[in-house]
Amino acid sequence: MAATPKSFFDAAGAAIADTELHRKLESASARHLDHFAHVRAEFAPYEAERDAARQIKQDAISRLDELLIELTTNLEKRGCKVFFAETAEQARDYIVDLARRIEAKRIVKGKSMTTEEIELNPALTAAGMEVVETDLGEYIVQLRGEGPSHIITPAIHLSKEDIGHLFEDKLAFPYTDEPEKLTLAARDKLREIFLSADLGITGANFAIAETGTIVVVENEGNGRLSSTLPDTFVAVMGIEKVIPRMTDVSHFLEILARTATGQKLTTYTSFITGPRRDGELDGPREMHVVILDHGRSSMLADPVLREALNCIRCGACLNVCPVYRRIGGHAYQSTYPGPIGSIVSPNLFGSAAGYLPFASTLCGACRDVCPVKIDIPRILLHLRWKETEANRPLKWPGPLGRARSGARRFARMARHPRTMRFFSKLGAFMLRPFARAGWIRRMPAPFSNWTRLRDFPRPRPRRRARPARDDG
């Protein structure tokens, strides 16, 4: 990951100036939140399900080692091959080697942020294979040669007109902005690809230790087709996706679809327990499960950070985040954008993403909406503290950098009351000529940036505190 505070700042600045992007983000986020409010209001046990899901996750994370052993044993009993990958590279190599061994030419993928995280597509393409994303949003961004900009709705930054032009350009489909026609065009294209694929790859929303079952939740049926049509299937999951029992799943299904897409339930929920058995008519003949660490163990070892492993990747925290809604996902320059991305990215991608915990207003909307009640602002503050402790002062570029160094100088001055009083009086005196009707509309440099967007109240002479009057 080559992102830096400067490249983030530049990308965020460009996104802030892009009013069309705001329109698309605002309308999509507002639609999500509207649907969510509706399905939440009509489902009385929502809070109880939230608590149950949080408790299950906390329990699972507290005995991850034990559950992963149980999961592995049961997956192997069902005929799956299990591979533990400590790093992204190990996971990539395992899948590329497998694809080579079965002489895969065409690979279909269901939506999977974990495979985005390990940069699987470029590795398979470099090995000479054709990789096709089959989730509609992922397919669209793949045609554009870019990554997803949201963990649930990858093409949230595009309008139906953008997609109409894209299909005209890349698929030679006559221009239309009718979503139904565009969806049918993609579906026609993808059907023939599914039928000729040698290898299918998906992520996993949950992995049930008790039964060795991989659960894939989606809306388009592409996850089910990717996991059943090709002869070989690979599920890629982070170590935190394991949950203890089959009966736990329903608690997550009750909250996941509601917060992710504002649905009561997603259209497809696949429970995959091993490859095709003798006498069965469909399903893959070979099934692999790649279980990825890639920095998650270090999150587990940190008592504050480990709470982030409860995340079920619903994307709701992105929809409510004032920063995400302003700059969109690509500006974060990380696989995982938004509030949860700002937490996991520095752990998955190293100190290069150390700037992300600072990309937050800490307003707390993410904590309120999170279905498993992750205290995101607290973790962001913890990461900021860690970044500072590591003695890696971030060099913020441009006005933000100047504001930070100004704030540092102010903090030094504020420690000395006499100096503070002197400069306050001096400042009030010098600014007086700029004031009109109690407000300063334009301050001189170096404070002019402040009044570019807002007025500044005229500094008033400080009144001495008067003793309280005794009226009694």
Residues within the interface to ligand SF4 (CB under 6 A) = 311-317, 340, 369-372, 374
Complex with ligand SF4: residue 67 or 374, whichever CB lies closer: 374
Complex with ligand SF4: residue 88 or 340, whichever CB lies closer: 340
Smallest distance from ligand SF4 to CB 380, Å: 11
Complex with ligand SF4: residue 199 or 311, whichever CB lies closer: 311
Complex with ligand SF4: residue 166 or 312, whichever CB lies closer: 312
The one-letter amino acid code at 111 reads K
Token pair of 372, please?
Answer: 């498993």
DSSP 54-99: HHHHHHHHHTHHHHHHHHHHHHHHTT-EEEEESSHHHHHHHHHHHH
Contacts of 127 (CB under 8 A, 6+ apart): 96, 99, 100
Nearest to 21 by CA among 8, 11, 33: 11
The answer to whether the CB of 319 falls within 8 A of the CB of 260 is: no
Smallest distance from ligand SF4 to CB 372, Å: 5
Smallest distance from ligand SF4 to CB 341, Å: 9
Token pair of 435, please?
Answer: 């004031």
Q: Can you tell me whether residue 192 is helix, strand or coil?
A: helix
Token pair of 459, please?
Answer: 């500094």
> In whole angstroms, what is the distance from residue 327 CA to residue 108 CA?
31
* Ranges assigned E (strand) in 61-212: 81-85, 106-109, 130-133, 199-202, 206-208
Smallest distance from ligand SF4 to CB 376, Å: 6
Q: How big is the CA angle at 466 (ends 461 and 468), to the nearest 5 degrees? A: 150
Smallest distance from ligand SF4 to CB 315, Å: 5
Smallest distance from ligand SF4 to CB 35, Å: 15
Complex with ligand SF4: residue 163 or 365, whichever CB lies closer: 365
> In whole angstroms, what is the distance from residue 250 CA to residue 255 CA?
9
Smallest distance from ligand SF4 to CB 16, Å: 23
Complex with ligand SF4: residue 284 or 338, whichever CB lies closer: 338
Beta-strand pair 81-85/286-292 = parallel
Complex with ligand SF4: residue 50 or 288, whichever CB lies closer: 50
Complex with ligand SF4: residue 226 or 319, whichever CB lies closer: 319
Smallest distance from ligand SF4 to CB 33, Å: 12
Handedness of CA 155, 160, 162, 167 (dihedral sign): positive
